[in-house]
Amino acid sequence: MIVFGAAVWTAILLPLLPVPSIASWPYLGASVLIHVAYFVLVAVSYRGGELSFVYPLMRGTAPVLTAVAGALLLNESPAAGGWAGVLLISFGILVLAGDSLLRGTFRLAPAMFALANAGVIVLYTIVDGQGARLSGHAFSYTGWMFLLTGPLLLAIAAVSQGRSLLQRIGAGWRTGLLGGACTLASYGLALWAMTKAPIALVAALRETSVVFAAIIAAAFLKEPISRIRYLSIATVCAGAIALKAF
């Protein structure tokens, strides 16, 4: 619903934006397929695990993997301060997930899906970072990605849920449009930033969203935030400061 909501907003906005450069089209096509896998794994992971466990694990292992991939594939190696920021953010996020072990709420299946999705996140970060740079317009590139991904995910949902999907659309279309607007804006800003700065550093700074995820999990889903989790949030903020400073 959220991805399809983003596609709806994109359909409205794209006539006002330029078409991405032809050089970016192969990256755009690959991104659509990678994002289908990403959103499916997100849904499967959340189905069996806590938000405050799955989200940090999924996003926390991605920055280091992205930095290594960027250094190896794109010859983009952050300075020492940048690497320190990447490691601090990743450590802080993984501590959030480790707290689930101490509380006895750890479940293997959601953890495996989340770790698999971390690899998918690295793939789409590298692909979209390069694609946005070649497109000539990061927001147009982002819009086309969601416009093409939305119908594919809707088709998957239709096959798996049948007629009940129509009822869910009728009940949740407002949430889908709201979430879609947020998703479109946030990812468009992230890709725009990748056209101005190294991909690995933008990807790592983006993962500070785990702080907000922890707050949302506590406020709306009533998941407890222990002292360890507060410590990890402070570590993530320290990593963000290191990234900005260097």
Q: What is the pLDDT of residues 35-48, one digit of tens each?
A: 999 999 999 999 88
Average pLDDT, integer, range 136-143: 95
Average pLDDT, integer, range 49-53: 84
66 sits in the region (left: phi over 0; alpha: psi -120 to 50; else beta) called: alpha
pLDDT value of residue 20: 96
Q: How far apart are CA 46 and CA 131, in angstroms?
A: 29
Q: How far apart are CA 91 and CA 61, in angstroms?
A: 9
Average pLDDT, integer, range 46-54: 86
**For 192-245, how does the pLDDT look when each residue is reduced to its tens digit (9 = 90+)?**
999 998 887 788 788 788 888 888 888 898 887 788 878 888 888 788 777 766
Q: What are residue 46's phi and psi, to 5 degrees?
A: -65, -25
Q: How far apart are CA 17 and CA 136, in angstroms?
A: 11
Average pLDDT, integer, range 165-171: 89
pTM here is: 0.85
Q: Is the pLDDT of residue 149 over 90?
A: yes
Could you tell me if 95 and 238 are in contact, meaning their C-beta atoms sit under 8 angstroms apart? Answer: no
pLDDT value of residue 194: 92
120-126-130 Cα angle (round to 5): 145
Residue 9 pLDDT class (50, 70, 90 cuts): very high
Q: Which amino acid is at 74?
A: L
Which CA distances in Å does 32 have to 55, 76, 152, 188, 236? 21, 24, 9, 15, 30
With CA atoms as reference, report the closest residue to 6 among 131, 126, 151, 124. 151
